[in-house]
A and B are shown apart, each in its own frame.
Chain A
């Protein structure tokens, strides 16, 4: 049972445009969500997070939106840059779970110059 799903395996956008990566979850107990970026042959690096008490968190070009009623979160990258080309994972956890993260399958973003 995949509790966190990224239904789009890949996404291609033009440099300067907006990239929108989506993530759905099934467990309503999740209360903390994160996005990680991963380049080939490297470990995932933390990008941005959001608590379930918020519906938006912004950090520079990156904004995460959380829609609890729809059990959906999205990552917006504006403007997209070629260096943003990577695999993006969303992850979720809930209090009392010793910090264990449940990851989605990942979405490969390609930003074309």
Chain B
């Protein structure tokens, strides 16, 4: 298994509060991704990173920001959480892009009340 951890694994928060999710990898892979999984939608890309301090938006980036100050850590921040951001969040890594497999972390279950 790829060395990917996510913290916290579960979180309950209130609408309007900031939330930061962390993804940590020990594989030294260049690419890191944040997805959310919702019923009927599969997994949708929020943001991704192609190197330290290099990030870009995915298909559902509104309300989210990311930062990557070190190769091993990729942070996802909900600046002001809303109920529509209740979801399961997955981090993924890959060594390169193109025909490269992405490996996923165990997920963070977030509930926004």
Residues in A lying within 8 Å of B, measured CB to CB: 4, 6, 31-32, 34, 36, 41-46, 49, 51, 89, 91, 93, 95, 97-101, 103-106
Knowing A89-B42, A98-B56, A105-B41, the reply to whether A44 touches B90 (Cβ < 8 A) is yes
B103:A98 contact, CB within 8 angstroms: no
Chain B residues with a Cβ closer than 8 Å to the other chain, count: 29
**How many A-B residue contacts, CB cutoff 8 Å?**
65
Known: A98-B97, A101-B102. 9 other contacts (CB 8 A): A41-B106, A43-B90, A43-B105, A98-B31, A98-B48, A98-B50, A99-B31, A99-B98, A104-B42
Q: Is residue B100 within 8 Å, beta carbon to beta carbon, of the partner chain?
A: yes
Write out the residue numbers on chain A whose beta carbons fall within 8 Å of the beta carbon of B101: 34, 46, 49
B97:A46 contact, CB within 8 angstroms: no
Residues in B lying within 8 Å of A, measured CB to CB: 4, 31, 33, 35, 40-45, 48, 50, 56, 58, 90, 92, 94, 96-107
Report the bound CA distance from A41 to B44 in whole Å: 17
Q: List 16 A-B contacts (CB under 8 A).
A: A32-B98, A32-B99, A43-B4, A43-B104, A43-B106, A45-B104, A46-B101, A46-B103, A49-B99, A51-B99, A91-B43, A97-B97, A98-B31, A99-B94, A101-B33, A101-B43
Report the bound CA distance from A75 to B9 in whole Å: 31
Report the bound CA distance from A4 to B42 in whole Å: 10
Query: From B50, which residue of chain A is reached at the shortest CB distance?
Result: A98
A94 to chain B, nearest CB (A): 9
A100:B58 contact, CB within 8 angstroms: yes
Which of A32, A36, A101, A105 has the largest count of B CB atoms less than 10 A from its CB?
A101
